[in-house]
């Protein structure tokens, strides 16, 4: 490698972005810009009710309109066998089709698609499709979902519980909490958020002969190509997915969903190019959403404010058709990861409702930081300690590492405590307190909020689609460099940052590198923008592939010039031999020989200058940060004005600090939106009440202050020393701002438990009124009052039931990565159980205990990580139910039937 | 459905077309004229992504009908840079300041700033910032846009305030 990474010629420089030249002049290529000959346009007929049966669909009048080519429903698409897949590319355990089949499950559910000569005509016809529904009472909120056990959202399920992990309570932890000198408890709710990329979803699909070309607004054309191949059952077609420019995504476009798949399916059936561009009404009301959650924490502290134990109870609204049925285990994995928390238990559950499905949104687990940091400030007030001092006593410092979190994650190089120190060098807290006191004397309410966190980035274990990224780089015979990467930009600027990495490593000019990442037919699989991974995984792959080329050029040059390879180096596109200026050759000369005169190469060397490297980054690369913000709250109007915001973050070696700061700032603006403005609201009948941008309020320039940055830059263990930074602002921003508001409102004793903190809610807090939302949303107390009693533990069966247990069982384990099918063989011998589990991962024998029809056993597995699985199963007739404790992955449900 | 014959000068070239009365100007420019630089972000006048310059004024192309554009002179983002490719000062300032990420809202922001910068009296920072409150950018947190505005309105050294 030519240059030290970290303070390089290109790495670390604020280079202007390559992308901007086309985007500023209107020369980008977004999906709706694509026009193909003979292309027709799609509009969807959508459900106006949240739940009901489709009685009839009458498309006769609509089909008779001039310009209408076809009107398709679920039964028309059924000739193609389509498996909608979740983000893990697994088949979900509820039936999901591209179009509603027989029933509708949310307002906006696509019931039929109209295909017409232009979008105006398609919408005209969609308005004429008459659908009769038998309306039913919908399940809208998490509280509804918990109550409606008898009539679940999805037929064939026993309850609305979409996923569950953990346990209601742990006796040991309850004892610690009961004895703790200080117990701090609070229940928080987070509103539903629309990701709101400025470009909504869109797709153009064209089948020509044996090739299916799909232009789609997405986060990775490679992932979409793989998704489509699997969803359509590996069709005998060459699938090519193209996404040049994408107008933001933030998680929404992580996989193609019902409408996109419906358009692609229709395109395959009809054989003519089809376009669907989601309009804003559709995007707000029918796209998947995020973040509707509740989290109750109970934390015990000792007399000095050191944490002793915690129990968390969490719920997330999965809507009807989530991108992956989810209890959001990451919330629990990272809730206390940066803090010294000796004992921790949790119950995390996801709930199906009659609302649009749960999708990803920047930092999907972000509520952990929001609730933890807000609760720590509450604890500081309750215990009587300064909130910064409380954090210092509990944060994991460099000296504490390596260490392992309560959920088994090894920490080696996190720096939140050090970021906090750096932050406080820039923010004079004592001076602020004096200013705050003076302002209060004048009736003005200033507040300071501080928060700290760590962010997992570029995870490469546990989620198969996120494990690796690939770089294919060639030095062309012209001497120019072409890089084809599995990264993808929806605004990330990877065409620029990856070129910086490659130019630095190869020793060529930045302008000599062309980066392509827009076409699945070039390059290899990768998840693109997902999990803050691109700098780490894509950058690592780019460095390693470049290094292969450096080595090859060096060996060729040494051979041609009869020089010692140790003295060969590449600089600015020229190949030098140290101390011998006349031996200097251009990279182009070397490349021409490598491709065109293979006889001159070292014996046995493959011709050409082309390299590929598929890089797996470390299991998790952590980014750390501490932020502070100062606000003024107008207690007459409830309006919050942000006066200052300082960010001290450690994202390792920065490739382009302007891009890093852009990522942080964008996340912070979204945080400000979530705390003060945005609320994707539904009424009790499941009707969306914020269907336009006049109702769903996004932050404007006047809502977002100038951000100040302090960069710490501790090298990571990943290639290049990079750490991800894509999601952090959206994670740490909310508690920083909420804590500042709560500090400003502390004279009123206000506790900020629910977002958004709109002016009217802030006036409620000042007046000590309980917000209307809190009345509706069931806190744990209300939940206990309205919930049916939890099912009694399985009673000991009356007699040994060898016949009831022994034999073959078909079982399904509901893992976070999707349902996993297994075959179980049980054989009882008195109280001893012997058996064998067979799955796609292999077979394993076990031995355990049986009491009647109650089975218990443990088995160790080593893949994907080494954990002990503890099974607890109850057999009832030909059915089997129970759970399996999976180490730090929590608890998963097991169901089964006799085979 | 009513049909209208319109003649519009777009980026200096005369376009003639027959349009339906209900056709939105933004759709006409994107689909009929092929000028896909303007983006329709919300189609109800809030996000500002579709902003163009009509007879010297910044206008949202989603709130105007094509028929209403008859006889006007329109500049879209494609018509802003010099023929030799030199960026308009607004485009250059945004590029220098990292004022965009995904670039979907950017054409509208460019056109609003360009319209105000060409006004007879030079626009102030306050004017431009106030105008930007009518544009939504979901990516940048507006940091680079604000820096670009400050660069555009910074007085040359020595010029009286």
How sure is the predictor about A414, in pLDDT bands with cuts at 50, 70 and 90?
Answer: very high
Pairwise CB contact (< 8 Å): B101 & A120: no
> Residues A853, A857, A859, CA angle at the centre, nearest 5°?
150
pLDDT beyond 90 at A782: no
Closest residue in A to B106 (Cα–Cα)? A24
| Per-residue confidence (pLDDT) for residue A13, from 0 to 100 | 97
Q: Report the 10 Å Cβ neighbour count for A437.
A: 10
Average pLDDT, chain B: 95
Smallest Cβ–Cβ distance between A33 and the set B36, B145, B146 belongs to: B36
pLDDT beyond 90 at A504: yes
Pairwise CB contact (< 8 Å): B138 & A28: no
What's the burial of A134, exposed, middle or buried (CB within 10 Å: 0-12/13-18/19+)?
A: exposed
Nearest C-alpha of chain B: how many angstroms from A693? 6
Nearest C-alpha of chain B: how many angstroms from A573? 26
| Most B-contacting residue of A14, A18, A24, A36 (CB-CB within 10 A), to test interface | A24
Task: Kindly report which listed range (A381-390, A744-753, A767-776) carries the lowest average pLDDT score.
Answer: A767-776
Pairwise CB contact (< 8 Å): A17 & B138: no
Average pLDDT over residues A36-53: 98
Establish if B70 touches chain A: CB-CB under 8 angstroms: no
| Most B-contacting residue of A43, A67, A197, A198 (CB-CB within 10 A), to test interface | A198
How sure is the predictor about A788, in pLDDT bands with cuts at 50, 70 and 90?
Answer: very low
Pairwise CB contact (< 8 Å): B142 & A199: no
Domains of chain B, first to last = 3-153 (3.10.20.30)
CB B50 within 8 A of CB B26: yes
| Per-residue confidence (pLDDT) for residue A834, from 0 to 100 | 87
A840: cis peptide before it, omega within 30°?
A: no
SS (H, E, C) A739-769: HHHHHHCHHHCCCCCECCCCHHHHHHHHHCC
| Per-residue confidence (pLDDT) for residue A862, from 0 to 100 | 60
Pairwise CB contact (< 8 Å): A701 & B129: yes
Which tokens belong to A777?
A: 């949303």
Average pLDDT over residues A763-780: 67
Residues of chain A positioned with their CB less than 8 A from the CB of B31: 118
- Measure Cα distances from A570 to A307, A552, A567, A669, A756 in Å: 55, 11, 10, 42, 55
CB A170 within 8 A of CB A332: no
Establish if A695 touches chain B: CB-CB under 8 angstroms: no
Residues of chain A positioned with their CB less than 8 A from the CB of B98: 14, 16-17, 658-659, 661-662
How does pLDDT run across A172-208, given as a tens digit for each residue? 999 999 999 999 999 999 999 999 999 999 999 999 9
Q: What percent of chain A stands above pLDDT 90?
A: 81
What's the burial of A844, exposed, middle or buried (CB within 10 Å: 0-12/13-18/19+)?
A: middle
Q: What percent of chain A stands above pLDDT 70?
A: 94
How does pLDDT run across A632-679, given as a tens digit for each residue? 999 999 999 999 999 999 999 999 999 999 999 999 999 999 999 999
Average pLDDT over residues A737-766: 96
Pairwise CB contact (< 8 Å): B42 & A692: yes
Task: Kindly report which listed range (A135-149, A303-317, B1-15) carries the lowest average pLDDT score.
Answer: A135-149
- Closest by Cα among A571, A456, A443, A435 to A504: A571
CB A811 within 8 A of CB A819: no
Closest residue in B to A669 (Cα–Cα)? B141
Pairwise CB contact (< 8 Å): A198 & B135: no
| Per-residue confidence (pLDDT) for residue A431, from 0 to 100 | 98
Which tops the pLDDT comparison, A774 or A368? A368
How sure is the predictor about A6, in pLDDT bands with cuts at 50, 70 and 90?
Answer: very low
| Per-residue confidence (pLDDT) for residue B157, from 0 to 100 | 59
| Per-residue confidence (pLDDT) for residue A883, from 0 to 100 | 83
DSSP code of residue A289: B
Average pLDDT over residues A270-289: 97
Average pLDDT over residues A282-299: 98
| Per-residue confidence (pLDDT) for residue A837, from 0 to 100 | 87
SS (H, E, C) A427-452: CCHHHHHHHHHHHHHCCCEEEEEEEE
Q: List, in sequence order, the alpha helices (H) in A673-758.
A: 728-744
Establish if B128 touches chain A: CB-CB under 8 angstroms: no
Q: Checking phi first, is residue A553 left (phi over 0); if not, alpha (psi -120 to 50) or beta?
A: alpha
- Measure Cα distances from B123 to A298, A481, A817, B145 in Å: 55, 44, 55, 15
Pairwise CB contact (< 8 Å): A120 & B105: no
Residue with tokens 């009587």: A384
pLDDT beyond 80 at A299: yes
Residue with tokens 């290094």: A547
- Closest by Cα among A654, A629, A624, A759 to A706: A629
How sure is the predictor about A857, in pLDDT bands with cuts at 50, 70 and 90?
Answer: confident
Which uninterrupted H or E stretch holds B82?
Answer: none
Establish if A700 touches chain B: CB-CB under 8 angstroms: yes
Give the Cα separation of A447 and A438 in Å (integer): 12
The per-residue b/e assignment along A776-791, b for 16 or more CB within 10 angstroms, e otherwise, is ebbbeeebeeeeeeee
Pairwise CB contact (< 8 Å): A197 & B106: no
Nearest C-alpha of chain B: how many angstroms from A32? 8
Domains of chain A, first to last = 20-26+461-615 (3.30.365.10), 34-136+197-249+253-286 (3.90.1170.50), 293-458+619-781 (3.30.365.10), 802-898 (2.40.128.120)
Nearest C-alpha of chain A: how many angstroms from B12? 16
| Per-residue confidence (pLDDT) for residue A828, from 0 to 100 | 87
Give the Cα separation of B161 and B151 in Å (integer): 15
Establish if A511 touches chain B: CB-CB under 8 angstroms: no
Which tokens belong to A516?
A: 């392509």
Contacts with A49 (C-beta within 8 Å, 6 or more apart), sequence order: A104, A107, A133, A135, A138, A685, A686
Average pLDDT over residues A755-779: 78
| Per-residue confidence (pLDDT) for residue A1, from 0 to 100 | 37
- Closest by Cα among A388, A375, A356, A231 to A297: A375
Residues of chain A positioned with their CB less than 8 A from the CB of B142: 665, 669, 700-701, 704
Task: Kindly report which listed range (A263-277, A365-379, A791-805) carries the lowest average pLDDT score.
Answer: A791-805
Give the Cα separation of A491 and B103 in Å (integer): 7
Give the Cα separation of A326 and A322 in Å (integer): 8
Pairwise CB contact (< 8 Å): B141 & A665: yes
Pairwise CB contact (< 8 Å): A28 & B132: no
Smallest Cβ–Cβ distance between B139 and the set A248, A280, A706 belongs to: A248
Which tokens belong to A620?
A: 């998790």
| Per-residue confidence (pLDDT) for residue A781, from 0 to 100 | 38
| Per-residue confidence (pLDDT) for residue A784, from 0 to 100 | 35
Residue A18 φ/ψ, nearest 5 degrees: -60, -40
Q: Which residues pair with A487 in a beta bridge?
A: none
What's the burial of A461, exposed, middle or buried (CB within 10 Å: 0-12/13-18/19+)?
A: middle
Pairwise CB contact (< 8 Å): A247 & B104: yes
Establish if A39 touches chain B: CB-CB under 8 angstroms: no
| Per-residue confidence (pLDDT) for residue A793, from 0 to 100 | 43
How does pLDDT run across A423-442, given as a tens digit for each residue? 999 999 999 999 999 999 99
Establish if B100 touches chain A: CB-CB under 8 angstroms: yes
| Per-residue confidence (pLDDT) for residue A180, from 0 to 100 | 98
Closest residue in A to B142 (Cα–Cα)? A701
- Closest by Cα among A821, A582, A881, A823 to A91: A821
- Measure Cα distances from A834 to A14, A852, B94 in Å: 63, 14, 69
pLDDT beyond 90 at A528: yes
Give the Cα separation of A364 and A360 in Å (integer): 6
């Amino acid at each position: 490698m030519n240059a030290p990474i970290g303070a390089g010629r290109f790495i670390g420089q604020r280079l202007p972005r390559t992308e901007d030249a086309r985007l500023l002049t209107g020369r980008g290529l977004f999906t709706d810009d694509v026009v193909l000959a003979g292309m027709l346009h799609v509009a969807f007929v959508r459900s106006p009710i949240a739940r009901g049966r489709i009685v009839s669909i009458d498309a006769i009048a609509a089909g008779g309109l001039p310009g209408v080519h076809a009107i398709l429903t679920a039964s028309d698409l059924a000739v193609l066998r389509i498996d909608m897949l979740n983000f893990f590319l697994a088949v979900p355990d509820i039936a999901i089709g591209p179009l509603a089949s027989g029933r509708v499950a949310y307002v906006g559910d696509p019931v039929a698609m109209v295909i017409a000569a232009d979008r105006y005509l398609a919408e005209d016809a969609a308005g004429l499709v008459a659908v009769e529904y038998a309306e039913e009472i919908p399940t809208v909120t998490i509280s509804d979902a918990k109550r409606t056990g008898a009539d679940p959202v999805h037929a064939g399920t026993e309850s609305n519980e979409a996923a569950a992990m953990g346990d209601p309570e742990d006796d040991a932890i309850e004892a610690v909490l009961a004895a703790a000198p200080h117990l701090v408890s609070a229940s928080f709710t987070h509103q539903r958020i629309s990701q709101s990329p400025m470009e909504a979803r869109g797709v153009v699909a064209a089948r020509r002969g044996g090739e299916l070309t799909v232009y789609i607004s997405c986060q990775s054309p490679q992932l979409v190509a793989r998704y489509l191949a699997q969803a359509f059952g590996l069709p005998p077609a060459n699938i090519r997915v193209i996404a040049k420019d994408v107008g933001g995504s933030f998680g929404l476009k992580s996989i193609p969903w019902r409408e996109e798949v419906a358009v692609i399916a229709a395109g395959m059936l009809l054989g003519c190019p089809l376009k669907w561009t989601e309009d804003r009404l559709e995007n707000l009301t029918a796209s998947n959403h995020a973040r509707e959650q509740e989290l109750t924490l109970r934390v015990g502290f000792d007399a000095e404010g050191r944490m002793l134990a915690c129990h968390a109870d969490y719920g997330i609204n999965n809507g009807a058709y989530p991108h992956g049925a989810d209890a959001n285990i990451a919330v629990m994995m990272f809730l206390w990861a940066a803090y010294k928390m000796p004992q921790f238990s949790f119950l995390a559950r996801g709930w199906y409702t009659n609302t649009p499905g749960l999708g990803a949104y920047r930092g999907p687990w972000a509520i952990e930081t929001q609730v933890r940091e807000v609760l720590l400030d509450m604890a500081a007030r309750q215990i009587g300690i300064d909130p910064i001092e409380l954090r210092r006593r509990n944060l994991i410092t460099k000296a504490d590492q390596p260490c392992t979190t309560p959920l088994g994650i090894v920490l080696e190089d996190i720096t939140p405590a050090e970021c906090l120190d750096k932050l406080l060098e820039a923010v004079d807290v004592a001076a602020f307190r004096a200013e705050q006191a003076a302002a209060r004397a004048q009736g003005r309410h200033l507040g300071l909020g501080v928060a700290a966190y760590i962010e997992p980035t570029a995870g490469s274990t546990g989620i198969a689609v996120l494990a690796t990224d690939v770089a294919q780089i060639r030095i062309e015979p012209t001497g120019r460099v072409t890089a084809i990467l599995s990264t993808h930009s929806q605004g990330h600027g990877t065409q620029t940052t990856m070129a910086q990495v490659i130019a630095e490593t190869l020793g060529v000019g930045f302008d000599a590198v062309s980066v392509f990442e827009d076409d699945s037919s070039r390059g290899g699989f990768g998840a693109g923008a997902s999990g803050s991974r691109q700098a780490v995984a894509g950058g690592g792959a780019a460095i390693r592939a470049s290094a292969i080329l450096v080595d090859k050029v060096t060996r060729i040059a040494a051979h041609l010039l009869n020089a010692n390879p140790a003295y060969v180096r590449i600089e600015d596109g020229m190949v030098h031999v140290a101390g011998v200026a006349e031996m200097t050759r251009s990279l182009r000369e070397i490349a021409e020989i490598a491709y065109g005169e293979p006889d001159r190469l070292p014996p046995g060397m493959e011709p050409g200058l082309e390299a590929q490297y598929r890089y797996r980054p470390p299991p998790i690369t952590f980014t750390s940060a501490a932020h502070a913000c100062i606000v003024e709250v107008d207690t007459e109007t409830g309006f919050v004005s942000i006066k200052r915001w300082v960010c001290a973050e450690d994202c390792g070696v920065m490739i382009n600090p302007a891009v890093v700061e852009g990522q942080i700032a964008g996340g912070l603006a979204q945080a400000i939106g979530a705390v003060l403005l945005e609320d994707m609201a539904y009424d009790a009948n499941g009707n969306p009440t914020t269907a336009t941008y006049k109702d769903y309020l996004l932050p404007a320039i006047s809502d977002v202050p100038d951000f100040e940055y302090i960069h710490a830059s501790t090298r990571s263990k990943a290639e290049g020393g990079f750490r991800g930074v894509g999601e952090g602002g959206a994670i740490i921003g909310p508690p920083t701002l909420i804590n500042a508001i709560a500090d400003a409102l502390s004279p009123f004793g206000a506790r900020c438990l629910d977002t958004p903190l709109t002016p009217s809610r802030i006036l409620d807090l000042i007046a000590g009124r309980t917000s209307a939302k809190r009345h509706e949303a069931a806190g744990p107390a209300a939940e206990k009052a309205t919930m049916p009693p939890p099912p009694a533990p399985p009673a000991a069966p009356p007699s040994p039931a060898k016949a009831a247990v022994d034999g073959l069982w078909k079982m399904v384990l509901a893992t976070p990565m999707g349902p996993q099918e297994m075959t179980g063989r049980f054989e009882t011998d008195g109280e001893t159980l012997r058996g064998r589990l067979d799955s796609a991962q292999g077979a394993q024998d076990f031995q355990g205990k049986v009491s009647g029809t109650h089975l218990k056993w443990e088995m160790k597995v080593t893949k994907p990580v080494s954990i002990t699985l503890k099974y607890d199963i109850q057999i009832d007739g030909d059915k089997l139910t129970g759970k399996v404790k999976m180490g730090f992955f929590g608890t998963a449900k097991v169901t089964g039937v006799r085979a | 459905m009513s049909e209208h014959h319109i003649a519009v000068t777009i980026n200096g070239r005369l376009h003639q077309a027959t349009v339906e009365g209900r056709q939105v100007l933004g759709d006409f420019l994107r689909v009929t004229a092929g000028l896909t630089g303007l983006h329709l972000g919300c189609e109800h006048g809030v996000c500002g992504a579709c902003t163009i310059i009509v007879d010297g004024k910044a206008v949202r192309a989603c709130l105007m009908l094509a028929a209403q554009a008859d006889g006007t002179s329109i500049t879209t983002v494609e018509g802003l840079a010099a023929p030799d490719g030199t960026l308009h000062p607004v485009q250059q300032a945004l590029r220098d300041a990292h004022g965009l990420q995904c670039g979907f809202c950017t054409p509208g922001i460019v056109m609003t700033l360009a319209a105000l910068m060409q006004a007879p009296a030079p626009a102030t920072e306050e004017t431009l910032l106030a105008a930007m409150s009518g544009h939504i950018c979901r990516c940048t947190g507006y940091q680079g846009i604000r820096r670009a505005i400050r660069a555009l309105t910074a007085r040359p050294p020595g010029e009286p305030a």
